[in-house]
Amino acid sequence: MAVPNVGRGGNAQKQALYSIVQALAMFHAKRNTPLPPGLLGFPSPDYDPTTSPFKDLQPGPEVGSIHIAGKHINIYTLFSAVLSRGGATVLTTNDAWSILLPQFDLPDQHQTPDGSLVNVAQLLRHHYNLIFVPFEDIYRRNLHEKAQAMRQMNASSQPLRPGQSNMPIPRGPNGHLAQSTPNPNLMPPGPQTISSASMPRGPSLPRDPSVDRTPTDYEQDLHSAKRKLEFDESDGKRVRQKTEPFDPGFPAAPVTEPASVGSNNSVPSLPATSAMSSQPRPRHEPSRRKIEYVPLAREVDTYGGRDVKLIEGELFPQAQRRQLRDINDWGTIDIDALTMSLRSRLSTELSYSLTTLTLLSTMKGAQPNTGFRIMDCPELLDEVLDLLEDLAFSDEEDIFDLPAPYDDPHITTNRKLLNEVLNHEAEPFAGLQVRQGSKDPKSGGPQQRPGSLILAVLNIIRNLCIFLDNAEYIARHPRALDLLLRLCSETWNGTTVSPTSPAISLNDLIVIRKDTLHVLFYVAAVFHFVDGAAPSKTVLRLAKRIFFLISSYLVDPAEAVTPFASLQLVGTVIHRPPVLADIALEVFTRIGHSDTNRLVFAKAVPRASLKNLFVSLVHRLPVVDGDFQLLNREQWLSYIEKVVMALYALAFLSPPDLKERLKSDRSLGLKSIILRMVQKLAVHSTPELRSFFMISVRRAVETMKVLDDAKDSFDTSTATVTTLSFGMGYGEVGENDVETGTGLFGGHRDSTWDMMLLREVNMDEQLFSELDSLIRVEY
């Protein structure tokens, strides 16, 4: 086999690279998977780029290097880095391949030519497994066997003990041990005497420095074995040498003295050991001992000392997320005992009952979309509402009076409440101030704050409303929604705002309003006002509070902006509209869908509040091209559909004089905004998207038609027509009566004609007739 032209006369790094390349070439050739020639540096005749598993491997410009994410990686350096960290199995088990990226200056992700992003750590793992994983097992096995052999050799070749001679054992002519009388000259010396045949008495002769003693075969083998073992351990096991300090209490090692020169005695000289004297020689330098160690901690990617990936893996396991437990898994619960625990008002009993109810409210039933049926235990819900009322209010509510038609009541928006809380928290020593809703320091004992208990009860009711059967029951309950909306009320003195309930703070009021809005979101589809034709004062109070709660999330001038402006307001590119505003629109469009509910809103809400909400919704309609580009997203299109439907509901329930004011208000620019939106969505959109936009177009045209008529939408009385007039030319009645006057789009006939020629408009008879009525012109 040819060899690459590396490592010949080079440094140790190149020689090691040459060795690993040659070993890999032989290893993969035996497995019938030859490596590519570009990696080896010499021809590989059996390599087939069409069927080889290494066909996706990109060799680097140098021998023994591969190309990964725009970098050239030396395979010897890669192999050494992986082995020093425990091997491929350890890195894969701990998901720690990313710790190798900084060593090779590799990025976290790499963009492929087709535009997709690839995880570089996984790519590095793939290349290593392809080249080294089978080779790594054999390499480790060879190192282990070699180290074990060297340890056995070291154990069998122990150094001579003091007083032991390295002379060969005398044998007979046939090779057996001699059985004759022992020769005293061949006996090992005792502790205090030495043979006169082996060494003369008296002081030893000085050694001639010009003559070097030839080491014995045993010493040569021991020295070579020691060097071999040190080389293997330093390369394979990464042993760190540790120098220990001198310990006076530890016995000194025997020191070998050179043999005397000039003696004619044929017996080899014995090493001078502790047998020469009764006291061992002192040791003047510390001994070296080799200590193997395993790191106690692995390297991790941390942020501020915390392993973020490990924390996320423990807190949010995607593959092992626990499912919600079925309600039958919790055994039997005594509802009567739970009700009595709430009625007792004891702190321990309240803690038990509220915790149990919280768990029950999140349980799912045996059937889909079912859970804990609160309608089966009405006394429990009544007791929960009694607890909520006792904690929040100390007296009954005053009698509700009908608002004047032209009143302009103050509406505290959600943004206003947030600013109030931020201003309070920014004051000096804000945490030491005792405000409304704070825990009373004179109460004594570890008691819960009433506001915390109120939030716990609100959480239980919101969880119950998730299931449709509970939502229908709570929507028909005479006290539930009225009590929740009473908690959302506030008091405005001209400068500051405070909750009506003395038990809650401004922070609690923000959370209570949001939870109540979510409750209305779940019950809106099945909610209907009782006696819409002649509503009671309680029903009118409920309708007014629902309208004001919805308006508090929609009428703030800083937030009532177009879709593109709302993105600029947040400061970041988000992919969804404002969440709370979207929920508020959903609630109003669902509750205001039926004519009965619209009639109650018309009687309970002043005209100024209706106009304020109508103007705010018009400001949320798309105007510029950036707004219409966002409508290509499903969430923003749904948001605009809700805005247009809410405008239609407000136009429908508004009295005739308010409709005239909205239609003629030039500062609002309603006609121009609606006409531009209809043209953009119907005429200038692609045929594929036009079908999705037609819902908003149809409802916007209906809104303009209702304003153009300026009639009382709840007046169902019709003019009585004589029988002779039918078919006699005296006029037409019903839906096809002749309309007079100029329509709202009468001055824009050219632009509206293009819209009427669309196939989607022609196929919709109702939409076509309403457009035709809006572009009429009286000559």
Structure tokens at 233: 């351990």
**pLDDT value, residue 486:** 93
- Side chain identity at residue 746, one-letter code: G
Residues 6+ apart with CB under 8 A from 309: 95, 301
Mean predicted confidence (pLDDT) in 543-568: 93
**pLDDT value, residue 157:** 55
* 52, 177, 186, 712 from 171: Cα distances, Å: 65, 4, 13, 135
Residues 6+ apart with CB under 8 A from 80: none
| Highest mean predicted confidence (pLDDT) among 5-9, 88-92, 368-372, 655-659 | 655-659
∠318-322-323 over CA atoms, to 5°? 115
Higher pLDDT pick, 379 / 225: 379
Give alpha helix (H) positions in 200-328: 217-232, 308-315
- Closest to 78 (Cα-Cα) out of 159, 165, 17: 17
- What pLDDT band is residue 9 in, cutting at 50, 70 and 90? very low
Q: Is the pLDDT of residue 262 over 50?
A: no
pLDDT digits (tens, 9 = 90+) for 575-623: 789 999 999 999 999 999 999 999 999 999 999 999 999 999 999 999 9
Contact 147, 232 (CB under 8 A): yes
Give the residue carrying structure tokens 């480790």. 140
Q: Is the pLDDT of residue 456 over 90?
A: yes
Please state the length of the chain: 779
Mean pLDDT of the chain: 76
The domains of the chain are located at 12-156, 328-404+411-429+448-527
**Inter-axis angle of helices 595-604 and 537-552, nearest 10:** 90
pTM of the entire predicted model:
0.58
Q: Which of 14-23, 512-521, 676-685 has the lowest mean pLDDT?
A: 14-23
| Share of residues in the chain with pLDDT > 70 (%) | 72
Backbone φ/ψ region at 494: left (φ over 0), alpha (ψ -120 to 50), beta: left
Separation of alpha carbons 292 and 383, rounded Å: 71
Mean predicted confidence (pLDDT) in 680-703: 89
Q: Is the pLDDT of residue 17 over 60?
A: yes
Separation of alpha carbons 644 and 425, rounded Å: 38
Mean predicted confidence (pLDDT) in 244-273: 40
- What pLDDT band is residue 625 in, cutting at 50, 70 and 90? very high
Contact 54, 76 (CB under 8 A): no
Separation of alpha carbons 631 and 28, rounded Å: 58
Residues 6+ apart with CB under 8 A from 428: none
Structure tokens at 348: 């321990």
Residues 6+ apart with CB under 8 A from 15: 7
Q: Which of 284-288, 431-435, 595-599, 721-725 has the lowest mean pLDDT?
A: 721-725
Give the residue carrying structure tokens 């692995």. 298
Please, how many CA atoms are within 13 Å of residue 679, restricted to the half-sphere of its CB?
Answer: 17
